[in-house]
Amino acid sequence: MLVNCVAYQEGKKLSDIPVERIGEVLKTPATFVWVAMRDPDHAELEAMRLQFGLHELAVEDALRGHQRPKIEEYGDSLFAIIQLVDIDGGELSVGEVAVFVGPNYVLSVRSRSKQTFLGVRDRCEREPHLLKQGASFVLYALMDAAVDRYFPVVDALESELEAIEDGIFEKGGQRANIERLYALKRKVMCLRHAVVPLIEGVSKLYGGRVPAVCTHSQEYFRDVYDHLLRINASIDDLRDTATTAMQVNLSMVTIEESEVNKRLAAWAGIFAVATAFAGIWGMNFKNMPELDWDYGYPAALVTIAVACGLLYRRFKKTGWL
């Protein structure tokens, strides 16, 4: 569906315009058109392709969705895919926005995301001296808004990891911790897949040879690049810490198994002594004086009890029981 279709001149809003007038407005000097769409169908995107002269391959990527973040050049225009990552109730949801940028137009196509860019449009309209740069500043503003929304996701993942680490040394919770750590690691990798490819793309928009449409906004794209590097560093720290936590958790499992094995070995040793005594006195030899002794049975029981007690005390002292 169409969200907005607005014409701007010299950084100031002229008016909302119908789609049919886009071609006419594009011919006006110092004017550009900013169109925002959400989950459009094939017919709506086809209409935009005809109005703006968009490349068919770019339109196909925007329509199909589930694309890797990227920035591509098509003649004098740019096509960018930015993933929109949200976290709600501990679960990540990933959408995307496809942005078509030309010398005098911007078309943003948002898919599978509840995030809106109304605040971005308001911000740009409050800064006409910056919006005067044209479509490139709008691309920066959209990209900056999407990237800034990664920071709360990183904070939420860090808080989740800290909560898991607080309970990692509690007995009996190792299996649950492993499951939570593995789920966290998948979320971290999902966020990384949104960030890392975009770093490469944004690095092409400042310094050296840059697309003509971005010439006057290079310093702004450098700022986005710096934000992406910071987020990527945090993601690497999260991934390393989660891996370490998993190793510590597995070590705790091994330690617990070792404790169980020690207890079992100690009790097996105690019962082995009792079994040895019972085996000796259970042999059917005629010349065994203690068998004819009136106190032989109680004495045998006392001997077994004392031997087992001494072993129990020894194992208890060494921490095996």
pLDDT at residue 157, rounded to an integer: 93
Higher-pLDDT residue of 280 and 107 is 107
pLDDT at residue 222 is higher than 90: yes
Helix 150-166 / helix 135-148 crossing angle, nearest 10 deg: 10
pLDDT at residue 308, rounded to an integer: 84
Domain 1-148, CATH: 3.30.460.20
pLDDT at residue 49 is higher than 80: yes
pLDDT at residue 285, rounded to an integer: 66
pLDDT tens per residue across span 261-287: 878 888 888 888 888 888 877 776 667
Task: Indicate the pLDDT class of residue 97, thresholds 50, 70 and 90.
Answer: very high
pLDDT at residue 101 is higher than 70: yes
Q: CB atoms < 10 A from the CB of 119, how many?
A: 11
pLDDT tens per residue across span 246-266: 888 888 777 777 877 878 888
Mean pLDDT of 176-196: 91
Task: Indicate the pLDDT class of residue 294, thresholds 50, 70 and 90.
Answer: confident
The domain spans of the chain are 1-148, 257-318
pLDDT tens per residue across span 117-155: 888 988 898 998 888 888 999 999 999 999 999 999 999
Return mean pLDDT, the chain: 87
Fold for domain 257-318? Methane Monooxygenase Hydroxylase; Chain G, domain 1 (1.20.58)
pTM: 0.79
